[in-house]
């Protein structure tokens, strides 16, 4: 992940159907087990490696393209690379765990004419990328025993009206390349600090690091007992882009010139809103 000044990329439930842990039309007094909620989120989050770049990616399923999934990640992770590897850990029968690796060739196209595995759309202005993975190709890489695989549904993308400063958030990824129990993403928390609908950006009181780029961020609607209201359907807040470093004026000992230097992580993070990502994906499949 690159520091960013504030001004200035498989998972499907094959045996059980699509993961669905929130329905917007359900009774608001109903709850689901937060453990199932977290498992579903974890299984749609993957480590992505492109050349020397390592980050986080997640899977999105769009209703108009049931034959494929879209790997969404930060654009700077895949930029200038020709291949990528996705690594994730999934669950099978009797709680057995499987590490799944999937390598594909990146083919960046500004106006894709077909959605084949590896077809990549890179939106430079938003630093976000979407890579197509055909379901048939995914099935070849996944053991038959795998039963828990998830993907983010378009209906789960939050709108600007769902976002309030101070809201708790939960984000998953591989900061500094770290993972838990094999290749499970680390789960961290923070809060919404501010949002800018015009730019499509959200500021967060959260610490992001190298490897966090591309991490999915969710509104944390769990109650005090750790339960998630079923009615909290639009929970996908956005994707991690980077962090705001401290900036200090320091004297360059060699040149004797005072310079502005970026130092450690300030704890202010930058997120590309899910509302903006959703619209970009919608435009992609329409063309």
Which residues fall within 8 angstroms of residue 255, CB to CB, at 6 or more apart? none
Phi, psi of 89 (to 5 degrees): -120, 130
Q: How far apart are CA 213 and CA 106, in angstroms?
A: 18
Q: How confident is the model at residue 16, as a pLDDT?
A: 31
Whether the predicted pLDDT of 164 surpasses 50: yes
Lowest mean pLDDT among 100-104, 108-112, 144-148, 180-184: 144-148
Architecture of the structural domain at 31-286: Beta Barrel (2.40)
Residue with tokens 């705001």: 244
Q: pTM score, two decimals?
A: 0.81
Count the neighbouring beta carbons within 10 Å of the beta carbon of residue 8. 6
Structural domain spans, the chain: 31-286
Count the neighbouring beta carbons within 10 Å of the beta carbon of residue 29. 8
Which residues fall within 8 angstroms of residue 117, CB to CB, at 6 or more apart? 68, 104, 132, 133, 134, 137
Q: How confident is the model at residue 113, as a pLDDT?
A: 78
Count the neighbouring beta carbons within 10 Å of the beta carbon of residue 50. 21
Average pLDDT value for the chain: 79
Whether the predicted pLDDT of 127 surpasses 50: yes
DSSP letter assigned to residue 151: -
pLDDT band at 266 (very low <50, low <70, confident <90, very high): confident
pLDDT band at 9 (very low <50, low <70, confident <90, very high): very low
How many Å from the N-terminal Cα to the C-terminal Cα in the chain? Answer: 31
Q: How far apart are CA 98 and CA 89, in angstroms?
A: 6
Which residues fall within 8 angstroms of residue 43, CB to CB, at 6 or more apart? 11, 19, 88, 90, 91, 148, 149, 150
Q: For 76-115, how does the pLDDT look when each residue is reduced to its tens digit (9 = 90+)?
A: 999 989 899 998 877 666 667 778 888 889 999 888 878 8
Of 206, 230, 234, 229, nearest to 218 (Cα)? 234
């Amino acid at each position: 992940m690159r520091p960013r000044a504030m001004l200035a990329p498989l998972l499907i439930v094959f045996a059980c159907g699509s993961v669905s842990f929130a329905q917007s039309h359900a009774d608001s007094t109903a709850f689901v087990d937060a453990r199932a909620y977290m498992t579903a989120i974890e299984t749609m989050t993957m480590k992505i490696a492109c050349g020397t770049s390592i980050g986080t990616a997640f899977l999105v399923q769009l209703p108009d393209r049931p034959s494929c999934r879209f790997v969404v990640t930060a654009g700077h992770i895949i930029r200038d690379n020709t291949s990528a590897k996705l690594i994730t850990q999934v669950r099978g029968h009797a709680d057995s765990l499987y590490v799944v690796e999937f390598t594909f060739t990146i083919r960046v196209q500004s106006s894709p004419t077909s959605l084949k595995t590896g077809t990549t759309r890179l939106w430079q202005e938003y630093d976000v990328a979407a890579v197509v993975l055909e379901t048939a190709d995914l099935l070849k890489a996944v053991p038959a025993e795998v039963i828990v695989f998830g993907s983010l549904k378009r209906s789960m993308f939050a709108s600007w009206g769902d976002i309030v400063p101070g809201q708790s958030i939960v984000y998953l990824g591989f900061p500094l390349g770290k993972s838990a129990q094999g290749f499970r993403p680390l789960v961290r928390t923070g809060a919404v600090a501010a949002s800018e609908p015009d730019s499509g950006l959200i500021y967060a009181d959260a610490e992001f690091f190298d490897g966090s780029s591309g991490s999915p961020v969710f509104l944390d609607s769990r109650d005090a007992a750790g339960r998630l209201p079923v009615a909290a359907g639009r929970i996908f807040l956005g994707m991690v882009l980077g962090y705001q470093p401290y900036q200090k004026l320091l004297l360059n000992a060699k040149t004797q010139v005072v310079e502005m230097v970026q130092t450690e992580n300030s704890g202010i993070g930058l997120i590309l809103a899910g509302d903006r990502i959703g619209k970009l994906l919608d435009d992609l499949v329409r063309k």
